[in-house]
Amino acid sequence: MAKQNLLPKLFEPLAIAVLLALFIIPTLTVINLSPITRELKKTNVLGVTDSTQNIVVTKVGGIHDIFQNEELEKQDDTEYIYSTDIMKREGKKAYSKPIMTIKNTGTTEATLSFYGYTDSTTKSSHTLKIDKDSYNLTDTNKILLKPGEEKVIYLYTESQSSILFNEKLNIVLYL
Amino acid sequence: MSKLLRRILKISVWPAVLMIAGKLFGIIIANIVYKLDFFIDNQIEGIFSIQLYYTDSNTTILVNSISNLFMIIILAVPTIYSIIKTAIYESTFQNPRTIVKVTKLNIMNWITKDDTSFLLIFIWCSFLLVASLIVVAQTIQGINYSWIGIIAGVLAIFSIWGTIKTYEIEIDKIYPREKELY
């Protein structure tokens, strides 16, 4: 009895599947290639989203004799500007006030950097106090926030001589 | 494996490749001409894992429209050519005037060889129909220019009509119409 070649019959269902794939694959590819609109995620070189979105900055506020007209403005997702009027004050005295709270709500460590400047050239020393550390505002400083950590930022000002006019202080925070 | 299936597979490869190539080529051309920045992101939701995106909706519509236009043109040109060629070829058998016109236009090579079949036209028309329907659907969704959607709609109707017309021609070969015989 002659042997029957079953190979073509076995290939037939496979060929039908290939034929279907020839129609389905281009259709799905064309749909997938159609671009969409989306906001650009800020990602680092490793493709991990930075934790900048996870830092919450809030103003403490309240009434103070020296620090008045406090404002905290969000410039964009990565930049905040805190401004206050430092009123005329006596020399050789230090004044301080809690001005902001920063909280890392993310699951990774986050770094926050800041610097400050005034609209006058007095010899006052303006520093930020966070926990036990002091940061001079004339330099750019960095703070590391652990996941879930919350810190209160104190503004501290001191001068040897009396200041007889009001000063405007700005602090720029980069998330 | 049957000869028919083998032939269908052979014919289907080109329109399938051209459909993807047309879309891709359109995207590349739009990005080069308009100097656009595009982004590729991988996502774990939905059917597709990789998605091409733009930050501005107007840019998205522009790129999508240009790429869709390229895709349907690339598919429509060979389809229309095959349909016209078959129509002229069949017409030369019945109408001597067609032969004169074909000679004047110097396209005699169109009618010297019947290398277009119903199967070829049917497959190309199917791909053109699928591509046109995608474009029409995207026009309804508002992510494609309406005039490109209209062109795609017209081409979809044309491809259906072309398939039916070619089918009629093929049927006439087997069962000639009575009025032409008597």
Whether A5 contacts chain B with CB within 8 A? no
| Closest alpha carbon within chain A to B126 | A23
| Dist CA A90 CA A7 (whole Å) | 101
Q: How confident is the model at residue B133 (pLDDT cuts 50, 70, 90)?
A: very high
Pick from A26, A29, A18, A30: nearest CA to B8: A18
In the predicted model, is pLDDT for residue B182 greater than 60? Answer: no
| Closest alpha carbon within chain A to B52 | A35
Pick from A17, A27, A35, A18: nearest CA to B15: A27
Whether A24 contacts chain B with CB within 8 A? no
pLDDT digits (tens, 9 = 90+) for A14-52: 888 998 999 999 999 898 888 887 765 555 555 555 545
Q: What is the ipTM of this complex?
A: 0.84
Q: Which residues does chain B have within 8 Å of residue A29's beta carbon, measured at their own beta carbons?
A: 19-20, 23
Q: What is the pLDDT of residue A46?
A: 54
Q: What is the pLDDT of residue A51?
A: 47
pLDDT digits (tens, 9 = 90+) for A44-84: 555 555 545 578 888 888 888 888 888 888 888 788 889 98
Q: What is the CA radius of gyration of chain A?
A: 31
Q: What is the pLDDT of residue B127?
A: 94
Q: In b/e form, how buried is each residue of A27-40, taking b as 16+ CB within 10 angstroms?
A: bebbebbbbeeeee
Q: Which residue has the higher pLDDT, A138 or B148?
A: B148
Partnered with residue A94 across adjacent β-strands are: A158
State percent of chain A over pLDDT 90: 6
Q: What is the pLDDT of residue A141?
A: 84
| Dist CA B57 CA A36 (whole Å) | 8
In the predicted model, is pLDDT for residue A116 greater than 60? Answer: yes
Q: Which residues does chain A have within 8 Å of residue B19's beta carbon, measured at their own beta carbons?
A: 26, 29-30
In the predicted model, is pLDDT for residue B136 greater than 90? Answer: yes
Contact state of B53 with A30 under an 8 Å Cβ cutoff:
no
| Closest alpha carbon within chain A to B64 | A34
Match 């062109």 to its residue by tokens. B151
Least confident span in A74-83, B25-34, B126-135: A74-83
- From start to end of A27-124, where are the E strands? 36-37, 55-59, 67-76, 79-86, 93-104, 110-118
Contact state of B55 with A29 under an 8 Å Cβ cutoff:
no
Averaged confidence pLDDT in chain A: 81
Match 């109707």 to its residue by tokens. B157
Query: B105 in helix, strand or coil?
Result: coil
| Dist CA A110 CA A112 (whole Å) | 7
